[in-house]
Amino acid sequence: MKGLKKLLFFIISSIGVFGGVFLFFWNMAKKIQQPLRRQITSVPSVPYENIEFPSKEGIVRGWFIPSKFEETPPLIILCHGWGSSRDTVYRYVDRLHEEGYSLLLFDVRGHGESSSVKALTVKTFRDDIISAVKFAKSRKDIDTNNIGLLGHSFGGFGSILSLSKGNTAKAIVIDSSPIKFTTIMESFLKQKKLPTYPLVPILTKFIFMRANITTRETKEDLDCIKALENTRTPILMTHSINDNFVPSSELEYIKSRVKINSFYVKSDGHRDSQSDPDFWENVIPFFNAHLSMRSKNFISEEKNG
């Protein structure tokens, strides 16, 4: 009888411990997947339009900035990173707007003023980017055959993955993007001053579990290398060698596996690539070359203006 009681006590204790550990990691994953919303603290200094469009079960909100020229121009969609909002990518706007592009900035669901999501992942970024391109193609005030995309960090990660899920953008620039899920988790844990092992593999599994992402899906739909190998869309990638959050070794990882156009900058931190002159010296010619920017009418307007 005593042996049975000991066995029952052991079983109940084990269940309690297991349940406590499970709940700890579940709540930790939940916290990671619900970043604090960054409030919109500024608006464009040039004319803009508030916009919104559907994406999956939610609504995405953002800004449309028309070109400074009257002709229907190419459009570049700007996508922010994890825990940011559309006004954080406004740093790209002045140079691109001066070049004559129309621009679309939006808050990924779970960010800014867009709808909430239960379990935010890179899939959310991927799906909202696809929805943004679809929305852009419905407008009559842009050249819908010439849409570009510039994604920063997780916005870049989602942009790459969207290539295999119907993204019809004509040219894509990827700025400071993570590529591997392990890198993302390591960066987050280091920022919180937590040990990476064994937390990285455990938390990654819980994050996928909360988002109903299967192992098969991670191999087939969430693989950046596979997406880049199978696309014909022109891609240009950049990363700062001084990035203190997502290391530039992510770009090295890509280059060791896929032939890709790329360059490095020397700006400080994770969100300042555009401050390096080399950034625009590479990005502007790339977009101009692939988005048919210099039509005859456009050149005429630009010279006369």
* CATH at 250: 3.40.50.1820
How many domains, the chain? 1
Closest residue by Cα to residue 292 from 108, 72, 117: 72
Q: Does 38 fall in a domain?
A: no
Q: Does 18 fall in a domain?
A: no
Question: Poorest-confidence range of 98-102, 163-167, 176-180, 276-280?
Answer: 163-167
Q: Does 188 fall in a domain?
A: no
Tokens of 79: 């996508």
Q: How many contiguous H segments (helices) and E segments (strands) does the chain have? A: 11, 8
**Domain residue limits at 263:** 45-179+233-296
Closest residue by Cα to residue 155 from 209, 104, 226, 101: 104
Closest residue by Cα to residue 149 from 117, 123, 177: 177
Q: Is the pLDDT of residue 298 over 50?
A: no
Mean pLDDT over 52-70 rounds to 95
Q: Does 109 fall in a domain?
A: yes
C-alpha to C-alpha distance for 222 and 14, rounded to whole angstroms: 35
Closest residue by Cα to residue 187 from 251, 129, 270, 264: 270
Element (H, E) at 75: strand 75-79
Q: Please report the pLDDT score of residue 250 as a whole number.
A: 97
Mean pLDDT computed over every residue of the chain: 91
C-alpha to C-alpha distance for 150 and 237, rounded to whole angstroms: 10
Tokens of 127: 């799906």
Q: Does 150 fall in a domain?
A: yes
Q: Does 16 fall in a domain?
A: no
Q: Please report the pLDDT score of residue 160 as a whole number.
A: 97
Model-level pTM? Answer: 0.91
* Contacting residues for 31 by C-beta, under 8 A, at least 6 apart: none
